[in-house]
């Protein structure tokens, strides 16, 4: 029975007293993406396995080792999405979004599933904020997508992230590069891991991304791609860097980045931290000009990135970055007896329609226990209703911060409460700022 009260290895719960943090991140990234013209797209959590085999690439670690694949009851092979791009491009093609004005700028917040060894910053269910910009080959788009990720970090006040960029060329210039890599790795055939031996013929560039320490060591001295770029790819990379310079974005060219997925072409990039352990890549992305065609569409240049939300949270926690506080309970209305409880229900429902966080007793506690509960909630105001208050149509509203109580009419309570709470928070603000609150605000405005 222990199994039912234990989450699956590599998965994580977000508990009610923590969720405001991830909500803040989610709202922030969607807003920034929105300012860049990216609109949210939502795709299913599972797809045909073939989509990822083709769209991520069957020489990748993700496809070879990490996918959650199963047959459904109709004997179809289904895979839980290991990343966001393939599903988005599938939707782009399926719904004819190529007929809309291009580029189509799409973004998403999504869960991803990979069967990996769980450790800090590496989960089996994790979450990504991703963007895809489909239908442009211009280096201006490369810089814009990188700038978006950069803005997210700047806005969230995340520091010490290194932006590393590289170009891995196009299929044309990669032919020569593959040849050189193959020649190099042939010499170490006896030492490469089994997966990489298989990659030697099919896609030697994948060996550069292998996580095995032996392969990693061998890869260190392998020829790098930049010296093999064709003129077009070189120009594209140079212009991308010039746009980044124009936008004031600092970067370092790291010729060893190749990225984990097969479909990347030209620009690839990562935002890397050395403050959260071995899993330091918080965001990775790049151009994938060949993907639409690979999935049966017309050739359509495109690019995007995936940002790991859990790694971002780890980094923000490591840097002690404060999150804006969760929305407080504005008022708790305690009640004694049925009549008062019905009145409390009536008032809280009116307050809630005005956007106030209002709560009342839904347990049947004593007034004393209700007040204790209100304290735990951190209620800004409390009010106790009993038969007398209902009969006299008035009650005492208590400001829990200052201890001040104000007699209020229960008729029109919502308006009364709004006025009193605005007035009191204004005078608290004046006091904090050291301003004389006898000044009439209207006379200044």
Q: Residues interacting with ligand ATP, by CB under 6 A?
A: 83, 114, 116, 121-123, 126, 128, 260, 279, 281-284, 306, 308, 310-311
Closest distance of CB 54 from ligand ATP, Å: 16
Q: Toward ligand ATP, which CB reaches closer, 262 or 310?
A: 310
Q: Toward ligand ATP, which CB reaches closer, 66 or 151?
A: 66
Q: Toward ligand ATP, which CB reaches closer, 83 or 289?
A: 83
Q: Residues of 12-41 as b/e, b for ≥16 C-beta within 10 angstroms?
A: eeeeeeeeebbebbeebbbebbeeeebeeb
SS3 content of the chain, % helix, strand, coil (to 5): 45, 20, 35
Closest distance of CB 302 from ligand ATP, Å: 15
**If DSSP states are collapsed to H, E and C, what string results for 26-66?**
HHHHHHHHHHCCCEECCCCCEEEHHHHHHHCCCCCHHHHHH
Residue 411: how many other CB atoms lie within 10 Å? 9
Q: How far is CA 356 from CA 5, 136, 372, in A?
A: 35, 45, 21
Pick from 373, 351, 349: nearest CA to 420: 351
Closest distance of CB 244 from ligand ATP, Å: 19
The two most distant CA atoms of the chain are separated, in Å, by: 93
Q: Toward ligand ATP, which CB reaches closer, 122 or 234?
A: 122
Q: Toward ligand ATP, which CB reaches closer, 117 or 368?
A: 117
CA dist., res. 367 & res. 361, Å (int): 9
Q: Toward ligand ATP, which CB reaches closer, 195 or 350?
A: 195
Residue nearest ligand ATP, Cβ-based: 308
Q: Toward ligand ATP, which CB reaches closer, 270 or 380?
A: 270
Closest distance of CB 306 from ligand ATP, Å: 3
Closest distance of CB 204 from ligand ATP, Å: 18
Closest distance of CB 330 from ligand ATP, Å: 36
Closest distance of CB 81 from ligand ATP, Å: 11
Q: Parallel, antiparallel, or unpaired: how do β-strands 265-272 and 358-360 relate?
A: unpaired
- Residue identified by tokens 């204790």 is 372
CA dist., res. 10 & res. 53, Å (int): 23
Q: Toward ligand ATP, which CB reaches closer, 122 or 339?
A: 122
Closest distance of CB 364 from ligand ATP, Å: 44
Contact 165, 254 (CB under 8 A): yes
Q: Toward ligand ATP, which CB reaches closer, 128 or 267?
A: 128
Closest distance of CB 163 from ligand ATP, Å: 13
Q: Parallel, antiparallel, or unpaired: how do β-strands 252-253 and 68-71 relate?
A: unpaired
Q: Check residue 207 and report its DSSP letter.
A: G
Residue 85: how many other CB atoms lie within 10 Å? 27
């Amino acid at each position: 029975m222990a199994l039912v009260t234990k989450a699956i290895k590599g998965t994580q719960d977000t508990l009610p007293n923590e969720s405001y943090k991830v909500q803040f991140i989610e709202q922030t990234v969607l807003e920034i993406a929105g300012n860049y013209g990216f609109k949210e797209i939502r795709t299913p959590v599972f797809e045909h396995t073939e989509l990822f085999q083709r769209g991520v690439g069957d020489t990748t670690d993700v496809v070879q080792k990490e996918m959650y694949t199963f047959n459904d009851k109709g004997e179809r092979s289904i895979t839980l999405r290991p990343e966001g791009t393939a599903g988005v491009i599938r939707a782009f093609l399926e719904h004819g979004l190529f007929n809309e004005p291009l580029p189509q700028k799409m973004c998403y917040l999504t869960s991803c599933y990979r069967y990996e060894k769980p450790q800090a910053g590496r989960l089996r269910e994790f979450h990504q904020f991703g963007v895809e910009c489909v239908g442009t080959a211009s280096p201006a788009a490369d810089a814009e997508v990188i700038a978006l990720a950069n803005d997210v970090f700047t806005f969230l006040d995340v520091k010490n992230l290194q932006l590393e960029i590289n170009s891995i060329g196009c299929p044309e210039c990669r032919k020569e590069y593959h040849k050189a890599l193959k020649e190099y790795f042939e010499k170490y055939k006896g030492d490469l891991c089994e997966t990489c031996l298989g990659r030697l013929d099919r896609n030697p560039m994948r060996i550069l991304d292998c996580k095995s320490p032996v392969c990693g060591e061998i890869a260190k001295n392998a020829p790098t791609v930049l010296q093999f770029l064709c003129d077009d790819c070189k120009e594209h990379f140079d212009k991308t860097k010039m746009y980044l310079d124009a936008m004031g974005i600092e970067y370092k060219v790291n010729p060893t980045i190749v990225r984990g997925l097969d479909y990347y072409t030209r620009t690839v990039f990562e935002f890397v931290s050395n403050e959260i352990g071995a899993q330091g890549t918080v965001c990775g992305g790049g151009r994938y000009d060949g993907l639409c065609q690979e999935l049966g569409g017309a050739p359509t240049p495109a690019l995007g990135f995936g940002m790991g939300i859990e790694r971002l949270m780890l980094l923000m926690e490591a840097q002690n970055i404060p999150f804006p506080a969760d929305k407080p309970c504005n008022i708790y209305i305690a009640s004694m007896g049925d009549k008062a409880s019905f009145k409390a229900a009536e008032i809280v429902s009116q307050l809630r329609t005005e956007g106030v966080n209002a709560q009342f007793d839904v347990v049947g506690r004593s007034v004393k226990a209700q007040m204790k509960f209100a304290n735990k909630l951190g209620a800004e105001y409390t009010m106790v209703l009993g038969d007398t208050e209902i009969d006299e149509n008035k009650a005492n509203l208590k400001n829990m911060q200052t201890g001040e109580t104000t007699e209020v009419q229960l008729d029109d309570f919502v308006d009364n409460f709004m006025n009193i709470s605005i007035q009191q928070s204004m005078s608290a603000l004046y006091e904090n700022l050291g301003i004389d609150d006898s000044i009439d605000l209207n006379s200044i405005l």
